[in-house]
Structure 1
Amino acid sequence: MAWRRSKSTPGAGAQPARRPTRHGRHGRLDRSPVVRPPLPPLDTRIERFDLAVGTAAEFLRSAWPELREVRFEIADMPAASDDDGIPRWRVLSAEKRIILFRIPIERLSHLHRNDDLHRRMTIEGSVFRAAAEYLDRDPWDLGPERFRYF
């Protein structure tokens, strides 16, 4: 803090200088700040994919006790393709793991409409199909009330 002396009596009554209420860079008046106000966080494709997988996995864990110990993991791409093409997920029952491959699910899916809702439905459908394969059930059996809109 800067100190200044009063002009009337040198050396007596030293008081701190008051900082102005609005100051810019380096304490100078009437200058704008260098940085802008904080921007909203970026919403990336990867974050939206993680959110869709996470919410679908939590729904399935709450509905099916057999899935409570299963880890849902996300990987970018599978190591290699198999005879059926590029896999969208891998189920490892012995390790209690389901690995979803983000790039094949996002890029190789044929969407009815290319919007956020249909992309999310494609991701959730992949999670449901992978969990159904883990449980050896039909995907429609996992959440019948989730698909009854009529």
Structure 2
Amino acid sequence: MKKVIATLITVIMMFSTASSAFAAGVTSGWQTKKNTTVRVSTDQATYGPGTSNINVTIDKSAPSTSYFYEIFLAQGTQYLYSTNIRGWIGTSSKSHDIKISDFVPTNSQATFEVMVKIYTSDEGYPFGTYIGDWFTPSFTVVRTN
């Protein structure tokens, strides 16, 4: 009986670890460009049928500095889609949802990277000095409805 319980616990732990690893998203990792350290990530590495949003999080390491950002969906170097999501990132992380139905037709799939453009806030609204682009690794989106 003890062996059965131990085996059951092991199996449950394996499935729990596998599902949490599957749910993890993609990330650019911490990257520094022009003395600005930023990380861009998504909530999932694959978006299957029935998923309606891609959740994007932007983190930065210098809480005392504000930056202006824009979020895009990229497909390689040829296609760039504006999500019309932009704003200021100051002391905390920013999280945004991108509607899958705005970018992927019904009954199809696509592969994207999230690209975030960062600008300083020192030269007026909306853009300051361009700092750089941060990309996540690619991920797949499948839409059936």
TM-score for the superposition, normalised by structure 2: 0.35
Identify, as 1 or 2, the structure richer in helix. 1
Structure whose alpha-carbon radius of gyration is higher:
1
Greater RCO structure (CA 8 Å; 6+ sep): 2
Identify, as 1 or 2, the structure richer in strand. 2
